[in-house]
Structure 1
């Protein structure tokens, strides 16, 4: 059974979206320094406009599909987060393709503008978050 088949089941999907939102919240709250403060401010503003859990749930098919080939290659043995981290450049590029397309198609100019501001740092932020994202996905795939 693919990762998508496991995580997109109606009985599992809401918990995956909720836990991924918590993972994002945790990753953002852990950012330090001036850029961390800017990220926290931007994220707080975005959360006023968008329900993160609902947005993740609405886009979960596309999100989880990114991880299907990695899950298949991983084979379910060990720590999926560590596996993803070891392929950070490739995984972050795959995620950013989807994020870029979403940002380019949004009718919310403010969200696109904020995304554009942080796009240059996005790959590093994603790579930093891959162990936590992988752990969250693996938790629900087990």
Structure 2
């Protein structure tokens, strides 16, 4: 098993593929949203992608090291447990994992000089945790795919 997520996900030869996979994960998660709040998420996401088609990949890429850093303790705990899948481990710790990942965007928002950005982010943040928790099975599977590729090769 890979020693760290950093070794797997941030390797220069693998990183572009991982970023592409994360963008596909976000696309899939947004596509599955339903109801009134889902419609709002889908509409906002479509608008962002229309205005800037590379927004999601650029945003993921710019924060990716910090996301990996935040996931690293969960991976260490998973390896120490020696059982189950990493996806199951993330889901089993969903609240803590979501808070850890959203800590990256919390810091980014707090550091913004634009009050409008902070206001919108703070309004959306409570719903964001649920969306991140919902995405953890896919995220775990995505990471497992890349760990398996590194271990196989």
Q: One fold, TM greater than 0.5? A: yes
Which segment is superposed worse, 103-112 or 131-140? 103-112
In the TM superposition, what is the alpha-carbon distance from 1:139 to its structure 2 partner?
1.0
TM-score, length-normalised on structure 2? Answer: 0.83
Paired residues in the alignment total 142
Where does structure 1 differ by over 4 angstroms across 4 or more consecutive aligned residues?
107-113
In the TM superposition, what is the alpha-carbon distance from 1:18 to its structure 2 partner?
0.6
In the TM superposition, what is the alpha-carbon distance from 1:14 to its structure 2 partner?
0.5
CA displacement, residues 63-114 of structure 1 (integer Å, 9 cap, x when unaligned): 1111111111111753211110110111111112111111222356665444
Matched-pair contact (CA < 8 Å) for 1:42–1:114: no
Q: How does 1:1-142 map to 2 (within 5 A)?
A: 1-47=3-49, 48-49=51-52, 51-75=55-79, 77-106=83-112, 111-142=117-148
- Counterpart Cα distance in 1 of 2:47 and 2:141: 27
- RMSD of the TM alignment (CA)? 1.9
Larger radius of gyration: 2
The secondary structure found in structure 2 opposite 1:78 is: coil
In the TM superposition, what is the alpha-carbon distance from 1:116 to its structure 2 partner?
2.8
**Which residue is 2:151 aligned to?**
none
- Counterpart Cα distance in 2 of 1:80 and 1:9: 19
Matched-pair contact (CA < 8 Å) for 1:104–1:112: yes
TM-score, length-normalised on structure 1? Answer: 0.89
In the TM superposition, what is the alpha-carbon distance from 1:45 to its structure 2 partner?
2.5
In the TM superposition, what is the alpha-carbon distance from 1:56 to its structure 2 partner?
1.3
- Measured at CA, do residues 107 and 25 of structure 1 come closer, stay the same or move farther in structure 2, by a change above 3 Å? farther
- Counterpart Cα distance in 2 of 1:23 and 1:44: 15
Give the unaligned 5+ runs of structure 1: none
